[in-house]
Amino acid sequence: MRDLLSLKQLHYLVALAEHRNFTRAAEACFVTQSTLSAGLQELETQLGIVLVERDRRSVLLTDAGREVVGRASEILAQARDLVDCVGSLRPMSGLLRLGVIPTIAPFLLPRILPELRERYPDLRLSLREDFTAALLQRLGDGRLDFALIALPYDTGGLRVEPLFDDALWLVADRDDPAARLRRPQLTPALTGRLLLLEEGHCLRDHTLQACGSAPAHPAGGHEATSLLTLIGMVGYGLGVALVPALALAGGIADSSRLQIRELARPVPKRTIALVARSSSAREAELRALADAVSRAGKAARFAGR
């Protein structure tokens, strides 16, 4: 029987696939470049195939290499879950890696972090803010334990715990005609003036879904990299925007230049959810984190102004 492959070898290969550079991959694995290279050569010898094409300028994975990387990522994730299973005897202690999307992080984290710090002094929380697709990729390959995202979104085979609904409100400049409407409807005339976040933000997709037959391009060709920038564009009179209640409760639109209007029913919404791997053994942490986020969501309800 062939010798079993080591997790360390697989970790080296996955790191090289991510960084496409031997030096950076070695730094990510906290080993020397020669150690990483030797580990990969040993892995290729054990498998009897070439995984990596090497030259002085670039690193390319072979077809076999890409296949092995995919399977290695799954194996490493399951190995981390095994470690978590042992660690789950003392829940909410040690390292917990949480990913959060940008349209949630600045408005929800300040509400939950103090509570987590006080209730779980042995917990070390590692945070990553990124687009949903990137967070789910990291979650799937074991580089994150949980992710806070907004639904609807295709989560594949991951475990999803919906926590609370987050309504979308219309924000307009005070001089905009929409600001004079009590409960605006998303008519073609109004959706044609909607400002959008850039590609990658799920809130962009949620806005387009709310509009139904929404325009293919944002109003005036303007796109924002963040909600704060989007609000600034509205304040300059460049258009109107759909903004989550969570962000409004956080004061993002607290300006005398802006008017906030609840939309006609059915009010569009997104659902804040906690996502984990189906194989994760961190059930106690999932429940504790879900409860903390749910409480924070209820405390952040926005009733208009």
- d(CA 51, CA 63) in angstroms, rounded, equals 8
pLDDT digits (tens, 9 = 90+) for 129-160: 999 999 999 999 889 999 999 999 999 889 99
Report the C-alpha gap between 253 and 259 in whole angstroms. Answer: 8
Task: Name the pLDDT band for 1 (thresholds 50, 70, 90).
Answer: very low
Sign of CA pseudo-dihedral 199, 204, 209, 212: negative
Higher pLDDT, 88 or 12: 12
pLDDT for position 233: 94
pLDDT average, residue stretch 105-125: 92
Query: Which CATH code fits 164-269?
Result: 3.40.190.10
pLDDT score, position 44: 87
- Residue 170 pLDDT: 96
Looking at the domain that runs over 7-86, which CATH code has it been given? 1.10.10.10
- Which pLDDT score, from 0 to 100, does residue 141 have? 86
pLDDT value at 215 more than 90: no
Output the CATH code of domain 93-163+271-299.
3.40.190.10
pLDDT at residue 164 in the model: 96
Contacts of 278 (CB under 8 A, 6+ apart): 157, 158, 159
User: What per-residue confidence (pLDDT) applies to 88?
Assistant: 53
Residue 128: CB atoms within 10 A of its CB come to 15
Please state at what angle helix 22-29 crosses helix 33-47, rounded to 10 degrees. 100
Domains 7-86 and 164-269 share a fold: no
Whether residue 103 has pLDDT greater than 70: yes
Full-model pTM: 0.72
Look at residue 81 in the predicted model and tell me its pLDDT.
75
Phi-psi region of 268 (alpha: psi -120 to 50; beta: other; left: phi over 0): beta
b/e per residue, 215-253, with b = 16+ CB within 10 A?
A: eeebbeeebbeebeebbebbbeebbbbbbbbbbbbbebb
Q: Confidence class of residue 219 from pLDDT cuts 50, 70 and 90?
A: low
Q: Output the pLDDT for position 85.
A: 63
Under 8 Å between Cβ of 292 and 125: no
Residue 124 · residue 63 · CB < 8 Å: no
In this structure, are residues 191 and 211 in contact, taking their beta carbons and an 8 Å threshold?
yes
Q: What is the pLDDT of residue 56?
A: 64
User: Where exactly are the structural domains of the chain?
Assistant: 7-86, 93-163+271-299, 164-269
Q: What's the confidence (pLDDT) of residue 53? A: 87
> In the prediction, which pLDDT does 172 show?
95
Kindly report the average pLDDT of the chain as a whole number.
Answer: 88
Mean pLDDT computed over 99-121: 94
Per-residue pLDDT averaged across 216-221, rounded? 61
Mean pLDDT confidence for 81-95: 68
Which tens digit of pLDDT belongs to each residue from 43-78?
Answer: 888 888 899 887 767 788 888 889 998 888 888 888
Least confident of 48-62, 133-147, 207-221, 236-250: 207-221
pLDDT at residue 281, as a whole number:
78
Q: How far apart are the first and last CA of the chain?
A: 71
Residue in this structure with the two tokens 């390319």, named with its chain if needed: 60
Contact 202, 101 (CB under 8 A): yes
Query: Nearest to residue 5, comparing CAs of 38, 49, 53, 47?
Result: 47
pLDDT of residue 3: 67
Residue 205 identity: D
Dist CA 176 CA 233 (whole Å): 13
**What is the Cβ-side half-sphere exposure of residue 116, based on CA atoms within 13 angstroms?**
28
Other C-beta atoms lying within 10 Å of the C-beta of residue 36: 24
